[in-house]
Amino acid sequence: MQPHIYSQSQHNIPQERIDSDALFVIDRLQKAGHTAYLVGGGVRDLLMGLYPKDFDISTSAKPEEIRRLFSNCLLIGRRFRLAHIRFGKKTFEVSTFRAGDTAEESLILRDNIWGVPEEDVLRRDFTINGLFYDPQSAEVIDYVGGMHDLQNHFLRTIGDANVRFKQDPVRMIRLLKFRARFGFAIDESAWQALLDNHLEITKSSPARVIEELLRMLESGHALSFFTLLEQTKMLTILMRTLDEECKNMGKKELLAYLHIVDHFHKQHADEKLDRTVLLAALIFPIIEKKLGKVSFEDVSFTTILKTTESILDPLFHQSFVQFTKRQRFLVEFILVMQQRFDLTLKTSKILPRLLSHPEKNIAIQMLFLRSHSHELLRPLYRQWKEASRQEAPSS
């Protein structure tokens, strides 16, 4: 299989946007006689004029050979052997080129059969993620038509979509993720394969699915993503309680806070709301609907606690995605704390004991989201935010 090679003048990737330590890793691998490329989402983002969050590397070097070259290397995984090379807080994922049968429909449970670049690329998910970049020659190497699809804003699986989704059902989540993030059109066969195979997602690792969901809540495109989950019936599998409330309340009402979440993350690219706050933002509209109130200064603590528990119990115990006990505890804390904040509307008093609570800031983040949904709560948020700042030096 012959690749299409794109020169610097054709792709215009600015090398100054590539992390210098990633370039160092590739250079050392190549000088040791190995093939090594930047691969995947990092190449895609560079071609789109974005700043990549990750710089993944693929190489002909075996994991043990990578470890011998880098003292800061840690080999991880048994079923999927990878090298992590660390530079301070940064970690670069270095994978060895894989081979294997890409027509086999069963789940990929082990993937340590080494291969060459043209075999490795066939095991990747979408054509736009199947591009290699060689910093030494400044060439993009394309075996799968990824450049054409990227230029035409098109999402296409590498290989038969039905097979690829059965091999790794999380790819269906990723398809919706890229649709939400980039607005690209989805290949008709891939869309139909997702609709036909959406139940396959239950064969995935819940931890992987949860991580994809949480990353999308942080992405600035959460509203579009969760709308797609509901549209494709994936939401009813992953978070049945939310799907049921979508039908009861309507998507617009249930997902109202995600619009605010997205706006915040787009305006503050380097600052993320706490993940438990993001989960709380999915649930809070249900509480508002059940209690029929914007503020809860006249609602008893017992009432809001019972209402919160009636929502969290099925969400955390009857969903495919399984959250940790700590996440459950913190989400409940965030939600019931809103009633404590709202009491200020009636008493005009800040409760000092709340300011000393170690988790107060995540609860105040939720109040921030509420204040952007309901104008009457904005003075309340400013009051608590200022009180929290004044308390900080002595805490």
CA distances from 350 to 10, 45, 252 (A): 61, 46, 33
Q: Which two tokens stand for residue 155?
A: 């999402």
Q: Is 270 tagged catalytic? A: no
The residue from 120, 125, 149, 168 that is catalytic is: 125
Please, which residues have CB within 8 angstroms of residue 77's CB and are 6 or more apart in sequence?
A: none
In angstroms, the first-to-last Cα distance of the chain is 64
**Of 19, 21, 54, 160, which one is the catalytic site residue?**
54
Q: Which of 56, 142, 168, 262 is catalytic?
A: 56
What token pair was written down for 310? 């009636």
Task: Give the pair of three-digit tokens for residue 233.
Answer: 């019936």
Token pair in block for residue 221: 């495109």
Q: Is 19 a catalytic residue?
A: no
Pairing, β 185-186 against β 154-155:
parallel
Active site residues: 54, 56, 125
